[in-house]
Chains A and B, each alone.
Chain A
Amino acid sequence: MDQPLEIDDLKTALRTLEAELGRHARRADTFAAESRRGAARTRLDPMRHGRLLQIAAGFAACLVAGAFWARHREVPHLLAAGLLVHAYGMLAIVLAACELRLLGRIDYAEPVVAIQRRLAELRRFHVRASLAAGLPWWLLWIAAALMLADVAGFDAYAAAPGAVAAAAAVGALGLAASLAFLGRARGPGASRAARFVDDHLAGPRLREARALLDAAARFELDA
């Protein structure tokens, strides 16, 4: 009859696995050469590059919108459109800078629990920042369209004030509904339809980030 396994058998099993993997691994110098090449890029780099791009785009938006509203101080709707795009550019810069700051705090050589908690915080911030950057587009597209129309040589608001006002009203309603929906979809009384849409937006990613944070906190405190 087989002897039941003990914890020490697992220690032996780990050593067996290590030896097997070591026997079949490529030579260390091959690994080293490949790793030196790989060191130039890591998993977090795309996120870092994305945020740097976001800052550049934010600056560009601020420059263009700043020049635009300075030129149209006497025309209220064009002034408002320019200010809105300028504010969005600043928001994009601030969000990207905050995310870069969180990214800068991630040093894999620090203790595991601390780094996993920071990665979860980063993930949570990223999801929230994506929402904060996405939702204003309910209204922002109108401001951008007014600016583009002006560049093309005509005043869209003067040409069709009713259409612009209607678009703004729909945008404001859409924004309010999105915010209310996001609040309710995560509440206890959320409908199935609300949860379905939430699950296809940022809901699962945000919940996952919260779960990771909770797991790190439990692991750290649970003694």
Chain B
Amino acid sequence: MRERRHERSDDALRTRCERLLEAHRGIAFKVAATYCRHVEDRRDLVQEIHAQVWRAFPAYDDARPFSTWMYRIALNVAISATRAAQSALPLDRLDAEPADDVDGRRETDDGVRALYRCIARLAPLDRALLLLYLDEKSHREIADVLGLSETNVATKIGRLKRRIRDDLDPTGE
């Protein structure tokens, strides 16, 4: 009897986790796109992010936004995975050549190429900041995900925007 009740609560937890993951699946994709250039690496990273979310989900507190919680997990997994693989694929090589896209096409979109150029020049923690900023998260949410003060986030974003403007300026002025 108790076992059946336990199974039912497991099923409910699984269903809830699946529903939330489906609603926020974009987070894993965006993080994977920020930290991996190649399609297989992205798939592996998305898989690992989902696995960690599954593992941590029983401890998830409903009172907190799921997106913030999932962003923390996704970024922590991505940064750790990137560092572990750093010797195999140096980050600064990411902007060398356009890569095969998800379906085998070449990335030809100027914006996407520019995004990768900017990402490739940033350290892993700065990439997290850029991603959250581009995903239009508020300073408070960014501070919550990264564990910084809101003032610190505002200062860093100001600096990051200046740097990106310089990177995007073809005249180099």
- Hey, which chain A residues are within 8 Å of B56, CB to CB? 107-109
Inter-chain CA distance A37–B127, complex, in Å, is: 29
B102→A20 contact, CB < 8 A = yes
B22 shortest CB reach to chain A, Å:
4
Taking CB atoms, residues of chain A closer than 8 Å to B46 are 21, 25, 31
Q: Which residues of B contact A7 (CB under 8 A)?
A: 134, 161, 164-165, 168
Which listed residue, A18, A22, A223, touches B151 by the CB 8 Å rule? A223
Q: Please name the residue on chain B nearest to A31 by beta carbon.
A: B50
Given the known inter-chain contacts A6-B168, A7-B168, please indicate yes or no for A35 contacting B72, CB distance below 8 A: no
B135 part of interface (Cβ distance < 8 Å): yes
**Does the CB pair B111–A38 fall under 8 Å?**
no
B123 touches A31 (CB 8 A): no
Check B75 against A14 for contact (C-beta < 8 Å). no
Residue numbers in A under 8 Å from B26 (CB-CB): 18, 22
A190 shortest CB reach to chain B, Å: 23
For window 54-77 of B, CB contacts with A under 8 Å fall at 54-56, 59-60, 69, 72-73, 75-77
Q: A17-B112, A112-B79 are in contact. Are A223 and B155 (CB under 8 A)?
A: yes
A28 to B26, CA, bound (A): 11
A21 touches B134 (CB 8 A): no
Query: How distant is the Cα of A119 from the Cα of B79 in the complex, in angstroms?
Result: 10
A9 sits at the interface (CB 8 A): yes
Q: B125, A219: Cβ atoms under 8 Å?
A: yes
Interface size counted on chain A using CB atoms at 8 A: 49
Complex alpha-carbon distance, A212 and B25, angstroms: 29
Rounded to whole Å, the gap between the CB of A39 and the closest CB of chain B is 4
B76 touching A32, Cβ below 8 Å = no
Q: Is the CB of A39 within 8 A of B134?
A: no
Whether the Cβ atoms of A28 and B115 lie closer than 8 Å is no
Q: Which of A10, A20, A23, A119 contacts B114 (CB 8 A)?
A: A10
Contacts of B76 in A (CB 8 A): 108, 110, 112, 115-116
A29 at interface by CB-CB < 8 Å: yes
Contact in complex: B111, A119 (CB < 8 Å): no
Q: Mark A183-223, 1 if CB is under 8 A from B, else 0.
A: 00000000000000000000000000000100110011011
List 5 contacting pairs A-B, 8 Å CB cutoff, sorted by A. Answer: A6-B168, A10-B134, A25-B25, A28-B18, A43-B77
Which chain B residues have a beta carbon within 8 Å of chain A's beta carbons?
14, 17-18, 21-22, 25-26, 29-30, 32-33, 42-43, 46-48, 50-56, 59-60, 69, 72-73, 75-77, 79-81, 83-84, 101-103, 109-112, 114-115, 118, 123-126, 128, 131, 134-136, 144-149, 151-152, 155-156, 161, 164-165, 168-170
